[in-house]
Amino acid sequence: MGLLDGLKQALGLKAEADATRDADPDDLWGMSTAYVTMEADLDYEPTGHAALCFAAVDSTDFTDALREVEEILDAGEVETGTTAVFVEDSHGYHWVVLEDDTFEDLVTSIHFAADTLIERGYGSRLLAALFSFQRPSAASAVYWIYSFRRGAYYPFAPKPGERERDSGAEFKLQSVLDGELGIEDDKEFWYPLWPEDDGHPWE
């Protein structure tokens, strides 16, 4: 299963049909404290990368809404140094890829971007927010993925160089962060986001 399949299943129509609660962009603020727990209890540090995924709409109004998001993020770059790049993957999904050494700035930028799209009436187009972490000695990153269709987080810990996930690491992340983050109870929706041939959009 590639990135497209994971998005379709975990974040798309099936997740929407089985949704248990409405997504709330304020859920994203939970990462502002969760990353401290990740460092203190699990030795995971932020990699300095985060991303927001959404499905575009072919309309002038949506283009205007995206322009507003860009303007907000450009202003944020001047103030905080957070860089934002807009990427379209090979399957037509759109990503705002953010980079900043200050994790709180990444959370703030993701929230601003998501909240702007919601205020403009495009909340249903939001698919996921992704936050990346890594242990100093580890070969690969682990991720917390927030599904807007499910209104919940889930961990994704791919094994380096393989299309296999580290279930032990994922369950450890769940057990330590449960209560601090709203974690998806149904592991059926813990879908992996494997890279395509050209890698992940946020890399």
**Whole-number pLDDT of residue 15:** 44
Asked whether residue 173 is assigned to any structural domain, the reply reads yes
* pTM over cut 0.85: yes
Of residues 196, 141, 194, the one with CA closest to residue 170: 141
Asked whether residue 197 is assigned to any structural domain, the reply reads no
Provide the domain count of the chain.
1
Asked whether residue 129 is assigned to any structural domain, the reply reads yes
**Whole-number pLDDT of residue 162:** 73
> Residue 36: enclosing H or E segment and its boundaries?
helix 31-42
Q: pLDDT tens, position by position, for the chain (203 residues)? A: 445 455 555 454 454 444 444 567 889 999 999 999 999 999 999 999 999 999 888 999 999 999 999 998 988 788 888 999 998 887 788 899 999 999 999 999 999 999 999 999 998 889 999 999 999 887 788 999 999 988 999 999 998 877 889 999 999 999 999 999 999 999 989 988 877 766 666 66
The domain in which residue 181 lies consists of: 3-189
Here the CATH number for the domain that contains residue 10 is 3.30.70.1130
Contact predicate 92/54, CB 8 Å:
no
Asked whether residue 133 is assigned to any structural domain, the reply reads yes
Asked whether residue 112 is assigned to any structural domain, the reply reads yes
Asked whether residue 202 is assigned to any structural domain, the reply reads no
16, 23, 43, 116, 148 from 182: Cα distances, Å: 17, 11, 21, 22, 12
Asked whether residue 199 is assigned to any structural domain, the reply reads no
Of residues 57, 43, 104, the one with CA closest to residue 76: 104
**Whole-number pLDDT of residue 155:** 96
Asked whether residue 143 is assigned to any structural domain, the reply reads yes
